Amino acid sequence: MKFHYTDIETCSEATGLVIVIDVIRAFSNAAYVFNGGIEKIYPVSTIEEALAIKQKKPEILACGEVGGIPPEGFDFGNSPTQTLELDLHGRTLVQRTGAGTQGIVRSVNAEKMAAASLVVAGATVKYVQMHQPEEITFVVTGKTFKGGGEEDLACAEYLEALFLDKALDPEPFIERVRGSRDAKLHLDPAMPEFPETDLAYCVDVDRFNFAMPVTKENGRFVIRAVTP
């Protein structure tokens, strides 16, 4: 099995099976909303697109961020701490983030795709192995931002080791996430919009037993939770 690494600037070139990674916080939060009862997620690129979908179907919830903060008109942000307090059963979500959802919508040449983070690491590997790919491309979405992406690279390298059946301790990878640039926001008491509890939720390896494959329905990307 061969592995390739890319980011949101070059992921449009990726073919075959693509795993889009955003640990802090898009695809960790996506897993928490699925666990909270959301049926499907529409990942989009822009605020305007998210709000247009919501305007057409007001029952759809909008979540996500710009600079880590939920835009005006969104129902909630990108925080698992907040997500855990919401009743989401049976709802549909449209998600816009600066890194994670951009990696999905830009991976236009992927034949198969999954969104991933540490909280669904093991299930993601099981799901992907069902398709027996010869090559896998990891989209390290945070890498594009200056000084960022170490948390997503750590997750990608952890997944690669799992694919290779290496027995490993996740703790060094967790520590890399905790030491990343984005993690520092959650360790700053002056930044209450970035709860420290979010960081703990994002490094809870294998908290969930489902993967998050991405498909297209009626021309739109859709994420669902699937237990392999």
User: Could you report the per-residue pLDDT of 12-26, keeping only the tens digit for each?
Assistant: 999 999 999 999 999
Q: Which residues contact 127 (CB under 8 A, 6 or more apart)?
A: 114, 211, 213, 226, 228
Query: What average pLDDT does this structure show over 36-51?
Result: 97
58 found inside a domain: yes
Q: What is the pLDDT of residue 3?
A: 98
57 found inside a domain: yes
Q: What is the pLDDT of residue 21?
A: 98
90 found inside a domain: yes
Among 19-23, 66-70, 124-128, 213-217, the range scoring the smallest mean pLDDT is 66-70
Length of the chain: 228
* CATH number for the domain that contains residue 204: 3.90.1560.10
Tell me the pTM. Answer: 0.96
Q: pLDDT digit string (tens) for 166-207?
A: 888 999 999 999 999 999 999 999 999 999 999 999 999 999
Question: Residue 18: which domain range?
Answer: 2-223
Q: What is the pLDDT of residue 148?
A: 79
Residue whose C-alpha is closest to residue 151's, from 114, 198, 216, 90: 198
Query: What average pLDDT does this structure show over 21-38?
Result: 97
Which pair of structure tokens corresponds to residue 140?
């390290």
228 found inside a domain: no
112 found inside a domain: yes
Q: Which residues contact 174 (CB under 8 A, 6 or more apart)?
A: 118, 203, 205
Q: What is the pLDDT of residue 147?
A: 66
Q: What is the pLDDT of residue 166?
A: 84
Our count of domains for the chain comes to 1
Query: What average pLDDT does this structure show over 214-219?
Result: 94
107 found inside a domain: yes
Q: pLDDT digit string (tens) for 111-163?
A: 999 999 999 999 999 999 999 999 999 999 998 766 679 999 999 999 999 99
- Give the separation between CA 186 and CA 106, rounded to whole angstroms: 28
